[in-house]
Amino acid sequence: MSTFRTQDGTQIYYKDWGKGKPVLFSHGWPLDADMWDSQMNFLAERGYRVIAFDRRGFGRSDQPWEGYNYDTFASDINDLIEHLDLHDITLVGFSMGGGDVTRYIGRYGTERVSALALLGAVTPIFIKTDDHPEGVDKSVFDDIKAGLRKDRAQFISDFATPFYGLNKGMTVSEGVKTQTLNIALLASLKGTIDCVTAFSETDFRPDVKKIDVPTLVIHGSSDQVVPFEATGKLAAETITGAQLKIYDGAPHGFAVTHQQQLNEDLLAFLQAR
């Protein structure tokens, strides 16, 4: 099993498949690197080196009590990039993982980065504030944390409905729903709760302004978890030259419901570099 240790001694698990230009994936909440298996296999078969890691507290990585904030997540990514000595990387971040890769650029720049893809990402800012009135109200995130504390297994099981748009005409297999729950329950409860605070309250607007590489923004028009108008729309408008793709009717979990479309779009974006 491939692992490395971060600056604070946390052991992080990662996958490293294929050969070619590197593509580094950062997963969403409350998942792990396995969410990317389809995209990774597809791109590795087409000549790319694909790397995905389990965020600290999730999957097969260590479960420290602290460190669930975006400065630490960005530092972990930097440690992985240096561990593998990666250059000319395309960073791909889904949901809260979009925050990881954006904060990485904000802190460490783009010397090693050639392109960026933000998929259903929480950037530039998720929560409702005085200067971001289209954001999601804090009470929503408070309710999520309360649900996790009360009965995490049932909360995550129910969360699959809006995540995959099952109440909006989308369908996924029973296997996908089972896998989603199993992955989520591998994670640290503390990390799962703390990450809700991190992805909801972190302001990435200063980081987004530092993005100076070709960027692809993909968002579902029917995203009930990370609403497009509050996040992806603003990211695409803020990042110079960003390419925006809106998946009509797609939910938050479009990496599953629109798997082939996403695979082809990522490949086309990579081939254009």
Q: How far is CA 226 from CA 73, 84, 159, 183, in A?
A: 20, 32, 13, 20
Rg (CA), the chain: 17
Instruction: Classify the phi-psi angles of 17: left when phi > 0, otherwise alpha if psi is within -120 to 50, otherwise beta.
Output: beta
Q: How far is CA 33 from CA 38, 52, 141, in A?
A: 11, 5, 24
Residue-wise DSSP of 209-248: TT--S-EEEEEETT-SSS-GGGTHHHHHHHSTT-EEEEET
How far is 51 from 49, CA to CA, in rounded Å? 7
Q: With both helix axes pointing from N to C terminus, report the angle between 138-163 and 189-201 in degrees, rounded to the nearest 10.
A: 110
Tokens standing for residue 156: 């995550």
Contact residues for 146 (Cβ-Cβ < 8 A; gap 6+): none
Instruction: For the beta carbon of residue 160, count every other beta carbon within 10 angstroms.
Output: 18
Tokens standing for residue 246: 């809106």
Going by the DSSP 8-state scheme, the letter that residue 253 receives in this structure is: T
Q: Which position among 27, 219, 252, 258 bears the catalytic label?
A: 252
Q: Which position among 100, 207, 223, 265 bears the catalytic label?
A: 223
223 as an active site residue: the answer is yes
95 as an active site residue: the answer is yes
Q: Which position among 75, 95, 188, 222 bears the catalytic label?
A: 95
Do β-strands 113-119 and 3-5 pair in parallel, antiparallel, or remain unpaired? unpaired
Tokens standing for residue 142: 């408070």
61 as an active site residue: the answer is no
Which residues are tagged catalytic? 95, 223, 252
